[in-house]
Amino acid sequence: MKKKILFLILLLLPFIVSAEKFNIEFESPKMYTEHTFNSFYKDGYIFIDTEYMGNSLGTDSLIQYYDAEWNLVKSKEYNDFSPELITTSDDFIYILVYKQHKGYTIYKLNEELEAVNILDAESLDWNVTTGALIIENNKVYTYIRDEESNSLKILELDENLENPIIKEISTSDFFNIYSLLNLPDRVDVEEIVPIDNGYLLSLTDYRDCTEENWKPVPSIRKIDKEFNTVWEKTFDNYRRIDNVVSTPDKTFFIAYSTTKDSERKGDLLVVNNKGELEETIIVDNAVGGLAANKEHILISSGEHHACLQGNYTDEDGCKSAIRHTIYSIEYDIVSKITGKGQVVVSTSSFSHKGVTFEVIPEKGYVLSEVKVTDEFGNVIKFTDYKFTMPSANVLIEAVFVPDNPNTGSFISYIAIVFGGITFITTYLLIQKSKLNKIKW
């Protein structure tokens, strides 16, 4: 009897699977911490580090492309190249760049990181501005500013950054959110992030700011497709929010505060689907480059202006302060047991990693059936109790039956004799840390 009680307790108790870690650190060979932009590309990652050379000298940037195993594939340096936005298609990288004394320019890079097309802002009769860079249906979209009316319009280009078409903001819900929300004066939309069934907005409220007390209040608001507010979370202890990204379950963003010495401090925060603050992953030294998909989160940390001295940098004695980090998302595995036995998962459940599990019947029972599905009902094939973890939660269902009619309890025997079915079902929830920190 004691053994049965102990077995039941062990079965119901959650246990923690330790997270595997890769600690690989590198310094950018020349770039220092001004800011950084990161993005997913093909099966790897793009990291762009920039070095601010002073108002009269512009900004240099180093673009680095790493494969899925974090090996450096290509790197290329661009001069007078300050990235503002980055987005990728299957084969190309598009970057909205600010060039000193030339305004905003759009670059199209191939996998060799070479510029194959450039939309030169100097050749236009209107000014490209920051705020959005979107690829949709083989078209590239961004904002332009009409200098005569000082109003925003949409610039549509083909994938070669040619054949420009100017459209009114009202032709697109995404670009039209500013006017559709009817925001109060002195509340700005800083960033718009499309998500399933709606949008995430980064807002800044300047209404209580004066020259004597300049303290804007940032917030994140989730709205549905009809632009109704689902939830909104304000962050009074910060002055600005940047790089809002979303996964199916979480929203990640960098919130900046400013010290008395005007030193900028960035925290990487996480809120859930209800807008509740869950945790702070990085404190004080998040510098940007935040990107996320269903498998990983990219973020860079370090010290802002770590090597900046006046209007020049000390190249002889300065080392890069940037550290790029990948957080690999770990999903839940839930086991449903019918009969008497247990399922034990012996490996972690990070997306696209191999998962190994065991099915262990109690004495007198044998395994009848095992089925593995994801949270959407898709069947996952496995061999030798091993499968590849999808970007979703997983259910392992195991059915154990008595080895013979005389095995097990009297209830089990009666159930088999009379064709009935007795279910003894236990749920084993494997709780894990949602993020596996991988950094170099």
Residue 438 lies in a domain: no
Query: Nearest-5° angle of CA 60, CA 63, CA 64?
Result: 145
Distances 425 to 4, 22, 312, 413, 428 between C-alpha atoms, Å: 15, 38, 68, 18, 10
Q: Indicate which CATH number applies to the domain containing 207.
A: 2.120.10.10
Q: Is it the case that residue 427 has pLDDT exceeding 60?
A: no
At 366 the pLDDT is: 93
Q: Is it the case that residue 393 has pLDDT exceeding 70?
A: yes
Residue 138 lies in a domain: yes
Residue 53 lies in a domain: yes
Q: Which of 86, 96, 435, 79 is nearest to 279 (CA)?
A: 435
Boundary (domain end) residue, out of 329, 353, 386: 329
At 3 the pLDDT is: 40
Is 322 in the same domain as 336? no
Quick check: helix, strand or coil at residue 84? strand
Is 292 in the same domain as 320? yes
Boundary (domain end) residue, out of 280, 313, 329: 329
Is 276 in the same domain as 425? no
At 52 the pLDDT is: 65
Q: Is it the case that residue 346 has pLDDT exceeding 70?
A: yes
Query: Nearest-5° angle of CA 140, CA 144, CA 147?
Result: 160
Q: What is the pLDDT of residues 135-177, one digit of tens each?
A: 988 899 988 877 677 777 888 999 999 998 888 887 777 777 7
Is 313 in the same domain as 362? no
Distances 25 to 33, 117, 283, 440 between C-alpha atoms, Å: 15, 33, 19, 3
Query: Nearest-5° angle of CA 115, CA 118, CA 119?
Result: 165
Q: What is the mean pLDDT of the chain?
A: 76
What does the pLDDT average to over 194-218? 88
At 402 the pLDDT is: 92
Boundary (domain end) residue, out of 329, 361, 393: 329
Residue 28 lies in a domain: no
Q: What is the pLDDT of residues 301-326, one digit of tens each?
A: 776 665 554 444 455 555 556 777 77
> Are 139 and 97 a contacting pair, CB within 8 Å?
no
- pLDDT band, residue 210 (cuts 50/70/90): confident
At 381 the pLDDT is: 94
> Are 434 and 339 a contacting pair, CB within 8 Å?
no
What is the pTM for the complete model shown? 0.70
Could you give the CA distance from residue 301 to residue 396 in angstroms, rounded to a whole number?
A: 38
What is the secondary structure of 385-423 as a DSSP string? Answer: TEEE--SS-EEEEEEEEESSTTSS-HHHHHHHHTT----
Residue 437 lies in a domain: no
Using the 8-state DSSP alphabet, how is residue 112 labeled? Answer: T
Q: How many domains does the chain have?
A: 2
CB contact set of 173 (below 8 Å; sequence gap of 6+): 180, 225
Is 310 in the same domain as 210? yes
Is 65 in the same domain as 208? yes
Is 282 in the same domain as 166? yes
Is 324 in the same domain as 336? no
Is 104 in the same domain as 194? yes
Residue 109 lies in a domain: yes
Mean pLDDT is lowest, of 149-158, 331-340, 368-377, for 149-158
State the number of CA atoms in the 13 A half-sphere of 409 facing the CB: 11
Is 167 in the same domain as 193? yes
- pLDDT band, residue 14 (cuts 50/70/90): very low
β-strand partners of 45: 40, 66
Q: Which of 165, 63, 156 is nearest to 115 (CA)?
A: 63
Is 292 in the same domain as 222? yes
Residue 26 lies in a domain: no
* % helix, strand, coil for the chain, step of 5: 10, 50, 40
| Enclosing domain of residue 283 | 36-329
Residue 27 lies in a domain: no
Is 278 in the same domain as 404? no
Q: What is the percent of the chain where pLDDT is above 70?
A: 74
Q: Is it the case that residue 249 has pLDDT exceeding 80?
A: no
Mean pLDDT is lowest, of 31-35, 152-156, 334-338, for 31-35
